[in-house]
Chain A
C-alpha cells in the first residue's frame, strides 16, 4: 500500500541526506521523494511516497530528526496530487495521427518530435499518467522519466495530522 506524506523541514545543508539515510537505516521503502523550497525560504517541503503497511513508525522516525518541523500524512481525495512525466514513444509516420489524438485526450503536450519518436509532457494526477502510459505502451515506450509526486492538502478540509510534533 502506498502512503503519501509531506515533510516540512528546515532548509539546511544535508537534510535530504538525513531523511533518505533514515529511510534506508530503518528499512522503509521509498517509492518517490521530491524536495523543494516553500513559501518560507527557511523551510523545504518533501513529498514522500512510501510503500508499506503502516506509517506510524515512519512518521515518528521522521519527527526524531532534529530538522523535521512537521509531518502530514495525506488522506486520499483530500489532497491535490500532481506529477510530471516526460515520455518518448515510437511514432512511425503512419501511426502519428492516432498517437496525437490519444495525446489530446490526456492534454499531453508534444515537446520533441524526431524522425521515429514523439516525446510528450504529461502533467496531472498519478492515475492519469498511468492511464496515458498504458495507452502508449501499445506503440512502444522508448524512454520515460517522472518527477515524483508533489502534494498539497486541500484548503477546505486539510489532511489529517496524525501526529503532534514532539521529539
Chain B
C-alpha cells in the first residue's frame, strides 16, 4: 500500500515537483496545516507583512526570473488582500499561482469565521481558479494551475483549498495529470498568414514594429532584434516591452503613447503598417482608437486570439506565441529576400531621424534648482550595469523611469502597466531580488506609492533581501497633481502629502534599512554611490524633488496622438 499523506503534504510535495524554490506569503487559521508541512520542506518561505505584499513579491519574482511566482494566504481577509496583486498580474500577464486556505467544506456558505467566497471574488481577477474540497484533487489541481499560469498567455491562477482537504489523507500518486480538454494554446502561427505578413512588410513604405510585453513573456527578444534587423523595421516598445530590444540599437524609437517619445508616437501615427507583436492597442498607447494610426494596415501577432480585433481590426491576424511566430517570420523573410538586403526605406528613416533630432527626450537640471526626477534616474542608469533590474511604482516617476533609463536587456524592467497599482514597487522589488540574488535590484518609487507598501521593507531587512529603493519625494501624488494642473485649473484637491512626514531616512532605519537623503542636485550622485556600495541590507534613498515638474511628452487621455504636448509651454 502506498504511503498515506495529508493534503497539506501532498500540496507541498506537488509544489516541489513544480520546482518551486520560494513562496511569499502570510499564514493563518485555514492554511495552517499547509504551513506545518512547509516547515519540513526545502522550499524557502518569505513572510510578507501583508498578503498584498506577498502577492506582488510573487509577481516581481515571476517578472524577473520568468518562472511561476507562488504566494500563500489564508482564508477570508488573507485571500481578499490578494485580489489587487492577482488583478495586477492578470492585466500584465504574469504567471503567478496563489494558494489560499478555505474554511472546512462543511462550513462553506455558513458565514464561518474568516470565510469569504474566494473562488467567486477571485474569478474575474485570475486566468483561472479552483476550489478544492477533496484531498485527492490537490495534486492534479496544482499541476493544472502551474500549466495554465505558465502557458499560452500567462496569468495568475488561484487555488482555494478547504481545511478538511488539507487535513484529509490520501496516497501520493506522483504529480497530478492534466485534464484540460478545452485548453489548447496556439504556439505556431498559420504559415500562410506568416507569408502574407512578410509580403505586406516588404511592400510597406512606412512600417513600424509595435512590440509589446508579449515579447518579454515569450522570451523572444533575440528573435525580435533579428527580425527587426532583417526587415529593417523601426521598433516602438510599449511600457511593458521596455528592454525587449536594446535602447542603444538605432532601430529603437522608445516608448509610444501618452508619455512616449514624440518619435515613437508620431512614427506609429504616420505609419502605413503596424507590425504588432504581443501588444494589445492599450488606450495609453492609442489615445482615441478612432484617430489612431489612420493610414496603417495592421499585422497582429498574439497568443491570445481575443486580443486580435478587440480594439483595432487586423488585416493579417496571426495567433501564436511571439517567439515561435517571430522564428517563422524570420524564416519566411529570409526566403522572400533571397539574400537581397531589406528595403532601405531611406525616406522613412530620414523622417524619423529628423523627429529624433527635433524632439528628443530632455531635461534641464539646474544646480540651484530642486532635484529633477529625470536627473536622478539618468544618473542611476549611468552608474549601474545593463543587468540591473529596475522596478517602478505608478505615476510620474514610473514614466520618467521608462523614458530615461537605458534598457538593454529583457526582464530588467518591472512595473505595473495595465492595472496601474500604486505600491507595487517595494514588494515587487523584494520578489525580484529574492529570485535574482546576485543582481542589483533598484526600485524607483514615488512618495505616494512608497507609503502604500513600505512596511514590506521589514520583510526585506529580516530576510536579508538587499533591495535598493529610490524614493522620489515630491510631497505630492505627482501624476494626479499634474492632471489637476492641466485639467482642473490648478485645484490641488487631496494630492498634497507632506514633505517632512514621514521622515523617510528615520523610517528606513527603523525598518532595518539604510536611509540616505539628497536634498539638492549636487547630493544626488554621492547618495547614489553610497547606496550602491551597501549590499548587506536594503537601502532607501530619498530624493527631495520638485513638486511642480511635469511629465512630457504628454497626449491627453482619449485624445489624438497627433496632438503631443512637448512641455508646459504647449499647455
Give me the interface of A with B, judged by CB distance under 8 Å. Answer: 9-10, 13-14, 17-18, 21, 25, 56-57, 60-61, 63-69, 165-167
Nearest Cβ in chain A — how far from B129, in angstroms? 9
Question: For residue B454, which residues in chain A have a CB less than 8 angstroms away from its CB?
Answer: none
Could you write out 19 A-B pairs with CB less than 8 Å apart? A9-B182, A10-B182, A14-B119, A14-B131, A17-B120, A18-B123, A21-B124, A56-B309, A57-B306, A57-B309, A65-B182, A66-B127, A66-B180, A67-B182, A69-B181, A166-B184, A166-B319, A167-B184, A167-B185
Q: Would you give the 0/1 interface string for B294-311, flagging 1 where the beta carbon is closer than 8 Å to chain A?
A: 000000000011100110
What residue of chain A has the Cβ atom nearest to residue B124's Cβ? A25
Residues in B with CB closer than 8 Å to A25 are 124
Q: For B182, what are the chain A residues with a Cβ–Cβ distance below 8 Å?
A: 9-10, 65-69, 165, 167
Residues of A within 8 Å of B184, CB to CB, are 165-167
Tell me whether B148 is interfacial, beta carbon within 8 Å.
yes
Contact residues, B163-207 vs A (CB, 8 A):
180-186
What 6 A-B pairs are tightest by C-beta distance, nearest first? Answer: A60-B306, A166-B186, A69-B182, A66-B128, A167-B185, A66-B183
Contacting pair A166 B309 (CB below 8 A): no
Of all chain B residues, the one with the shortest Cβ separation from A163 is: B305
Given contacts A10-B181, A60-B306, contact A66 B148 (CB under 8 A): yes
Q: What does the 1/0 interface line of B110-123 toward A look like (CB < 8 Å)?
A: 00000000011001
Interface centre among A18, A25, A60, A166, by most chain B C-beta atoms within 10 angstroms, is A166
Contacts of A17 in B (CB 8 A): 120, 123
Report Cα–Cα, A67/B123, bound state, in Å: 13
Is B423 engaged at the interface, CB distance under 8 Å to the other chain? no
Contacts of B119 in A (CB 8 A): 14
Give Cα A92 to B77, complex, Å.
60
Given contacts A17-B123, A64-B304, A66-B128, contact A167 B309 (CB under 8 A): no
Roughly how many angstroms separate A167 CA and B148 CA in the complex, as a whole number?
10
Whether B28 sits at the interface, judged by CB under 8 Å, is: no
Q: A42 → chain B, closest Cβ, in Å? A: 9
Contact A60 B124 (CB under 8 A): no
Residue from the set A21, A56, A64 with the largest chain B CB neighbour count within 10 Å: A64
**Chain A residues, CB < 8 A from B181:** 10, 69
Does B427 touch A at the CB level, under 8 Å? no
Residues of A within 8 A of B120 (CB): 17
Nearest-neighbour CB distance to chain A for B281, whole angstroms, equals 13
B60 within 8 A of A: no
| Residues of the B chain whose Cβ atoms lie less than 8 Å from the Cβ of A66 | 127-128, 148, 180, 182-183
- State whether B185 touches A166 (Cβ < 8 A): yes
| Assembled-state Cα–Cα distance A57/B181 (Å) | 22
**Contacting residues, chain A, for B185 (C-beta < 8 A):** 166-167
B152 interfacial by beta-carbon distance below 8 Å: yes
> CB-CB < 8 A to B148: which residues of A?
66
Q: How far is the CB of A69 from chain B (nearest CB, A)?
A: 5
Given the complex of chains A and B, what is the CA–CA distance between A25 and B306 in angstroms?
14
Given A166-B305, A167-B183, does the pair A57, B128 have CB atoms closer than 8 Å?
A: no
Residue of A nearest to B179 (CB): A10
- A21 touching B123, Cβ below 8 Å: yes
In the assembled complex, the Cα of A57 lies from the Cα of B180 at a distance in Å of 22
- A62 to chain B minimum Cβ distance, whole angstroms, is 9
Q: How far is the CA of A67 from the CA of B310 in the complex (A)?
A: 22
Instruction: Find chain B residues with CB under 8 A from A65 CB.
Output: 182
Q: Which of A10, A14, A166, A167 has the most CB of B within 10 A?
A: A167
How far apart sit A65 and B128, CA to CA, in the bound complex (Å)? 8
CA distance A56 to B182 in the complex (A): 18
Q: B305, A63: Cβ atoms under 8 Å? A: yes
Query: Min CB distance, B90 to chain A, in Å?
Result: 11
CA distance A63 to B181 in the complex (A): 12
CA distance A60 to B308 in the complex (A): 9
- How far apart are B298's CB and chain A's nearest CB, in angstroms? 15
- Residues of B close to A64: CB separation below 8 A: 304, 306
Taking CB atoms, residues of chain A closer than 8 Å to B124 are: 21, 25
Q: How far is the CB of B157 from chain A (nearest CB, A)?
A: 9
Q: What's the least CB distance linking A55 to chain B, in Å? A: 12
Bound form: Cα–Cα A5–B184 in Å: 21
A54 to chain B, nearest CB (A): 9
A68: nearest chain-B partner, CB-CB: B182
Most buried by A among B123, B305, B309: B305
Given A57-B306, A60-B309, A165-B182, list of 12 further CB < 8 A pairs? A14-B119, A18-B123, A21-B124, A57-B310, A63-B306, A64-B306, A66-B128, A66-B148, A69-B181, A69-B182, A167-B183, A167-B184
Closest B residue to A22 by beta carbon equals B124
Nearest A residue to B307 by beta-carbon distance? A60
Q: How far is the CA of A65 from the CA of B182 in the complex (A)?
A: 8
Measured CB to CB, the nearest residue on chain A to B127 is: A66
Cα distance A66–B152 when bound, in Å?
Answer: 12
Complex alpha-carbon distance, A10 and B179, angstroms: 11
Most buried by A among B123, B124, B183: B183
In the complex, chain A residues whose CB is within 8 Å of the CB of B183: 66, 167
Least CB separation from B133: chain A residue: A13
Most B Cβ at <10 Å: residue of A21, A64, A66, A67: A66
Of B148, B306, B309, B319, chain A has the most CB atoms within 10 Å of the CB of B306
Interface residues of B in 316-335 (CB under 8 A from A): 319
Assess A167 versus B123: contact at CB under 8 Å? Given A60-B305, A60-B306, A64-B306: no
Residues of A within 8 A of B131 (CB): 13-14
- Separation of A66 and B120 alpha carbons in the complex (Å): 16
Which partner residue on chain A sits nearest B123 by CB separation? A21
How far, in whole Å, are A167 and B187 apart by their CA atoms in the complex? 10
Q: Closest CB-CB distance, B312 to chain A, in whole Å?
A: 13
**Nearest neighbor of A43 in chain B, beta-carbon distance:** B181
Q: Given the complex, which residues of B lie within 8 Å of A61, measured CB to CB?
A: 306
Q: Name A58's closest neighbour in chain B (CB-CB).
A: B306
Write out the residue numbers on chain A whose beta carbons fall within 8 Å of the beta carbon of B152: 167
Enumerate chain B residues within 8 angstroms of A21, measured Cβ to Cβ.
Answer: 123-124
Contacts of A18 in B (CB 8 A): 123
Minimum CB–CB distance for B152 against chain A, Å? 5
**Residues of chain A lying within 8 A (CB to CB) of residue B305:** 60, 63, 166-167
Q: Which residues of B contact A167 (CB under 8 A)?
A: 152, 182-186, 305
Mark interface residues in B312-354 (1 if CB within 8 Å of A CB, else 0). Answer: 0000000100000000000000000000000000000000000
